[in-house]
């Protein structure tokens, strides 16, 4: 993750550059209106509209100081992509279930989903994904004094999982008989339930559980699970090829010029170097 070269910001990759040239040369009088003329077919002309399930730190959090009102790794990286494409970024908070199923994108509510969405074959039946931008693990978070040392100790325990996620799928396949899986709509509800004693553990993405450990010394991660998961930005199944290419080309540009590494390190490099 941390081996990307640092360099000055370069020019846009071919598809993205073409989009910007058309924006500047073929305006129809509305602000940024030519983005649609470039084939991006945006929900709001001149704006990249993203749907996300917030909060999910460190990937998505409310941030009144950020241009879109949100920040986090997913959002900061997408903001940099929007900047490369000379588009504004707008973020709408939606349910993760509707987002990962493709419903929100198919309805035309947003252009892209940015919500720590793991690329899976099942989701690819209803969504078009960008190139992967993050590798993740699952993990088990419990109170430090719980006596739970591994997934094998979860029989009879209420275990919180987020609905529609790969964490739920992993828990369904790997927890012992007698485990009571309790589904919540988001991390905010999961974390509150654990603190209130309504559940005895959370099984979800490692970086999110690390955030909770950092927030309180009363909780520990007892296991991590390698699942070969990669996150991608999600688009509608029939998303224009121009939009998909523009996102991927901009993402590659950010990797090449060091911007990706800078954003990544700002969230995840505490144990590195």
Q: What is the pLDDT of residues 50-106, one digit of tens each?
A: 999 999 999 999 999 999 999 999 999 999 999 999 999 999 999 999 999 999 999
Global pTM?
Answer: 0.79
Asked if residue 9 is part of any domain, the answer here is no
**Crossing angle (nearest 10°) for helices 73-84 and 259-268:** 170
Domain with residue 215: its CATH number is 3.40.190.10
Burial pattern 69-84, b for ≥16 Cβ within 10 A else e, equals: ebbbbbbbbbbbbbbb
Contact by Cβ (8 Å): 94, 51: yes
> Total domain count for the chain?
2
Is residue 110 domain-shared with residue 241, that is, in the same domain? yes
Asked if residue 168 is part of any domain, the answer here is yes
Q: Which domain holds residue 70?
A: 14-133+232-271
Split at pLDDT 50, 70, 90, the class of 270 is: low
Is residue 115 domain-shared with residue 243, that is, in the same domain? yes
* Predicted confidence (pLDDT) per residue in 220-244, tens digit: 999 999 999 999 999 999 999 999 9
Is residue 156 domain-shared with residue 194, that is, in the same domain? yes
* Predicted confidence (pLDDT) per residue in 140-177, tens digit: 999 999 999 999 999 999 999 999 999 999 999 999 99
């Amino acid at each position: 993750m941390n081996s990307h070269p640092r360099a000055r910001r370069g020019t846009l990759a071919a598809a993205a550059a073409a989009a910007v040239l058309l924006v500047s040369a073929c305006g129809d009088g509305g602000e940024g209106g030519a983005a649609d003329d470039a084939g991006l077919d945006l929900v709001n002309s001149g704006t990249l509209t993203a749907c996300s399930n917030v909060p999910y730190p460190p990937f998505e959090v409310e941030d009144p100081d950020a241009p879109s009102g949100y920040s986090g790794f997913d959002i900061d990286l997408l903001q940099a992509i929007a900047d490369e494409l000379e588009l504004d970024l707008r973020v709408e908070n939606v349910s993760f279930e509707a987002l990962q199923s493709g419903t929100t994108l198919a309805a035309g509510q947003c252009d892209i989903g940015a919500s720590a969405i793991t690329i899976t074959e099942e989701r690819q039946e209803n969504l078009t994904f960008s190139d992967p931008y993050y590798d993740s693990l699952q993990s088990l978070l419990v109170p430090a004094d719980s006596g739970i040392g591994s997934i094998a100790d979860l029989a009879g325990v209420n275990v919180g999982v987020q609905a529609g996620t790969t964490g739920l799928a992993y828990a369904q396949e790997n927890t012992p008989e007698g485990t009571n899986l309790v589904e919540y709509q988001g991390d905010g509800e999961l974390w509150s339930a654990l603190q209130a004693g309504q559940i005895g553990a959370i099984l979800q993405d490692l970086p999110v559980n690390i955030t909770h450990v950092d927030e309180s010394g009363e909780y520990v991660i007892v296991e991590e699970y390698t699942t070969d998961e990669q996150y991608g930005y999600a688009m509608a199944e029939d998303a224009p090829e121009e939009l998909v290419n523009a996102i991927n080309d901009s993402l590659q540009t950010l990797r090449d010029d060091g911007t990706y590494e800078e954003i990544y390190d700002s969230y995840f490099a505490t144990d590195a170097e």
